[in-house]
Amino acid sequence: MSRVALVTGGMGGLGEAVCIKLAALGFRVVTTYSPGNEKVKDWLQGMHNLGYGFKAYPCDVTDFESARECIEIVTKDVGPVDVLVNNAGITRDMTFKKMTKADWDAVIHTNLDSVFNMTKQVLDGMTERRWGRIINVGSVNGQKGAFGQTNYSAAKAGIIGATKALAQEVGRKGVTANAVAPGFITTDMTGDLDEASLKQMIPLNRFGKPEEVAYLVSFLASEKSSYITGEVISINGGLYT
């Protein structure tokens, strides 16, 4: 039976592209969505019309118990998770002077705490089966920082550190842990940015495509990446090298 891949925040943008590429590798793909999201049925139907039999489960990734319950249901319905892509994320951009505690907490909880909450539920099973892939979606701004993104940069930098540390713990048990660090990718999250101006900073002179990042994630999920762990792979058009 094919392995199970779970992508948090898989509906739309980068997450959707990752789901599609993982399905192309033969994984049974599952995604999560925020409880109360009314678009899930339409999204699943749209994916079904394209030939993808994805399943989606409600999960508040900021809440440990919600993550535990979600993984329990996924395990019963589909099977144990072999690949976890921690993709869920939000932004609350503003200068630190204007940033509130709520703005800080929302980004840290969604982008960083979620990595612990979800990984904790699946890691023991991976080590027991002696095969697993943890793939965390970081950001170029977790590597270099960004004006107006103290909260986001802190969360993504935390993901990088956690990935490197976790890789050292689980490598002997057949589990790899890696992070990808995208630059500017054309998604809803970057829709309000001044692309014409920003792309002048990028050696390749364009924003990336979600599919380009998804190819990298799918490679890290495959057997071909079995000797790669603890890495943070930049995919940013040369923006930060």
pLDDT of residue 16: 96
The model's confidence at residue 240, banded by pLDDT at 50, 70 and 90, is confident
Q: Is the pTM of this model over 0.85?
A: yes
Asked if residue 68 lies in contact with residue 121, where contact means CB atoms within 8 angstroms, the answer is yes
pLDDT of residue 46: 96
Rounded CA-CA distance 237/207 in Å is: 8
Q: Furthest-apart CA pair in the chain: how many Å?
A: 53
Assigned token pair, 15: 């997450």
- The H or E element spanning position 30 is strand 28-33
DSSP letter string, 162-214:
HHHHHHHHHGGGTEEEEEEEE-SB-SGGGTTS-HHHHGGGSTT-S-B-HHHHH
**Catalytic (active site) residue 152:** yes
Of residues 152, 215, 227, 240, which has the active-site annotation? 152
Provide, rounded to the nearest whole percent, the portion of the chain with pLDDT above 90. 90
Q: What is the pLDDT of residues 5-17, one digit of tens each?
A: 999 999 988 999 9
Q: What is the pLDDT of residues 154-210, one digit of tens each?
A: 999 999 999 999 999 999 999 999 999 999 998 776 667 777 888 888 999 999 999
